[in-house]
Homo-oligomer: A and B are copies of this chain.
Amino acid sequence: MTRSRSTRDRIVRAAARLFLARSYQAVGVNEICTAAEVQKGSFYHFFPSKSDLAIAVIDHHAAALWDLLDTFESSSRGPANKVRATADVVGDIQGRLHGYFGRVVGCPLGNLAVELVAIDDAAGKHAAAALNKWERRVAGHCHDAYEVSQLRPEVDPDELAHQILAAMQGAILLAKVSDSAPDQIPKAMYQVIEGALQQKVAA
- Whole-angstrom CA separation of A166 from B173 in the bound complex: 8
Q: How large is the interface on A (under 10, 10 to 19, 20 to 34, 35 or more residues)?
A: 35 or more
Which residues does chain B contribute within 8 Å of A202, judged by CB atoms?
A: none
Asked whether any CB of chain B lies closer than 8 Å to the CB of A22, the reply is: yes
Which residues does chain B contribute within 8 Å of A124, judged by CB atoms?
A: 177
A:119-169 near B, CB below 8 Å: 119, 124, 127-128, 131-132, 135, 159, 162-163, 165-169
Asked whether any CB of chain B lies closer than 8 Å to the CB of A89, the reply is: no
- Whole-angstrom CA separation of A183 from B188 in the bound complex: 22
Asked whether any CB of chain B lies closer than 8 Å to the CB of A117, the reply is: yes
Which residues does chain B contribute within 8 Å of A42, judged by CB atoms?
A: none
Beyond A21-B118, A115-B23, A163-B167, is A173–B173 a contact (Cβ under 8 Å)?
yes
> CB distance B178 to A169 under 8 Å?
no
For residue A173, give the distance in angstroms from its CB to the closest CB of chain B.
5
Which residues does chain B contribute within 8 Å of A182, judged by CB atoms?
A: none
For residue A53, give the distance in angstroms from its CB to the closest CB of chain B.
18
Asked whether any CB of chain B lies closer than 8 Å to the CB of A60, the reply is: no
> CB distance B118 to A178 under 8 Å?
no
Asked whether any CB of chain B lies closer than 8 Å to the CB of A203, the reply is: no
Which residues does chain B contribute within 8 Å of A169, judged by CB atoms?
A: 169-170, 173-174
Which residues does chain B contribute within 8 Å of A22, judged by CB atoms?
A: 118-119
| A178 contact from B106, B128, B159, B178, Cβ within 8 A | B128
A:1-46 near B, CB below 8 Å: 21-23, 25-26
> CB distance B176 to A117 under 8 Å?
yes
For residue A32, give the distance in angstroms from its CB to the closest CB of chain B.
16
* Chain A residues engaging chain B, CB cutoff 8 angstroms: 21-23, 25-26, 105-106, 110, 113-115, 117-119, 124, 127-128, 131-132, 135, 159, 162-163, 165-171, 173-174, 176-179, 184, 188, 191-192, 195
A-B contact pairs, 5 of them (CB 8 A): A25-B25, A117-B177, A166-B167, A166-B174, A170-B173
